[in-house]
Amino acid sequence: MTDTADGATERTAGATHVGDGEATDARLVAALAGTLDEAGRGRRTVARLTDTTDLDLDTAYRVQRAVIDRRVARGEALIGVKMGFTSRAKMVQMGVDDVIWGLLTDAMLVEEGGVLDLGELIHPRIEPEIAFLIGSPLSGTITPTEAVRAIAGVSVAYEVLDSRYADFKFTLPDVIADNASAAGFGFGTWHDPTGLDLSNLGLLVEIDGRVVATGSSAAILGNPLRSLIAAARLAAEAGLELRPGWVVLAGAATAAMPLPKGVHVRVSAAGLGRAEVTTR
Ligand code: OOG
Ligand code: MG
């Protein structure tokens, strides 16, 4: 920001003022967040932000945060994070190749065995995940031992995705700004991670009893623990910490599948039981 003699006049000029880089930037972030947030609430897709705006990753994360701030202002609470593109299956499916994260609020949580109303979503998909329950604060560079010690529980989980972009097509900055396509999630019973080898658990997705996907937790960065370690690093970079009681979704082990109305989905993992949801 330039400090000029007529600075006071410039500040009162507000929205019409040009040449004030930071303020323009903040307005742009707020406007893009508004576009995505309103699209989600109105069940409408929007054009990719990068079609018209030069968006670097840093600005994309600021848009993501601003979207969540709007949700928090409406009464939602931040309850965790979701990791994205931690498996090759997902990178290949979506055509991007960087690990990202999004933020989870309590409004996205589906109670175990609950019913999810897809009427509020645009083009939902579902994918199998491993979830961690945080027991003690995590942020920054941590070792696998520190990661295990901070975990209060591990569970099989599912994530429901919904892109606010047409045809589920986006570039990396677009999907970051759109909170990594987050829409909903659920998990089963929490298990004590001590002594559990998470590196190669078989995962199964069934829709109405028919197996639609199989995979292994090995697909998630070789071991979902690595995803938790990455989450702690991203938290520090975002000036956040993973707090006790928060949930961390480690990322999908398989490609995501279209989620129709009126079906029963069961996701199971060897040794961790299952998580179930019915759609309507
Ligand atoms: C972006 C979210 C990716 C995962 O588990 O890899 C993700 C998307 O696929 O739309 O949640
Ligand atoms: Mg996911």
Averaged pLDDT for residues 172-189: 98
The answer to whether the CB of 131 is under 6 A from ligand 1 is no
**1 pLDDT above the threshold of 90:** no
Which atom of ligand 1 is nearest to 91's Cα?
A: 6
* Mutational pocket test of ligand 1: of 90, 121, 122, the residue with most ligand atoms within 8 Å of the beta carbon: 90
Rounded-to-integer distance, Cα 227 and Cα 206, Å = 25
Whether residue 52 has pLDDT greater than 70: yes
Residue in the structure block whose two tokens are 């690595």:
226
pLDDT at residue 170 greater than cutoff 70: yes
In the predicted structure, residue 4 carries a pLDDT above the cut 90: no
| Cα-to-centroid distance, 64 and ligand 1 (Å) | 14
pLDDT at 20: 63
- Encode pLDDT of 217-239 as tens digits: 999 999 999 999 999 999 999 99
Least confident of 31-35, 36-40, 91-95, 176-180: 91-95
CA angle 73, 77, 82 (to 5 degrees): 115
Residue in 91, 125, 181 to alter for ligand 1 test, most ligand atoms within 8 A of Cβ: 181
> Is the CB of 48 inside a 6 Å radius of any atom of ligand 1?
no
CA of residue 6 to ligand 2 center, whole Å: 50
Token pair in block for residue 214 = 């199989």
pTM across the whole model: 0.92
Distance 10 CA to ligand 1 centre (A): 43
Q: What percent of the chain lies above the pLDDT cut of 90?
A: 90
Contacts of 92 (CB under 8 A, 6+ apart): 255
Measured between alpha carbons, how far is residue 132 from residues 62, 199, 235, 279 in Å? 25, 14, 15, 24
pLDDT of residue 100 exceeding 70 = yes
Tell me how far the alpha carbon of residue 37 lies from the centroid of ligand 1, in angstroms: 18
**Residue type at 135?**
G
CA distances from 109 to 112, 185, 186, 187 (A): 9, 5, 6, 9
Q: How confident is the model at residue 7 (pLDDT cuts 50, 70, 90)?
A: very low
Q: Which residue has the higher pLDDT, 146 or 23?
A: 146
Instruction: Please report the pLDDT score of residue 85 as a whole number.
Output: 97
Mean pLDDT calculated for residue range 49-66 = 96
Does the structure show a pLDDT above 90 at 258? yes
- Mean pLDDT of the 250-278 span: 98
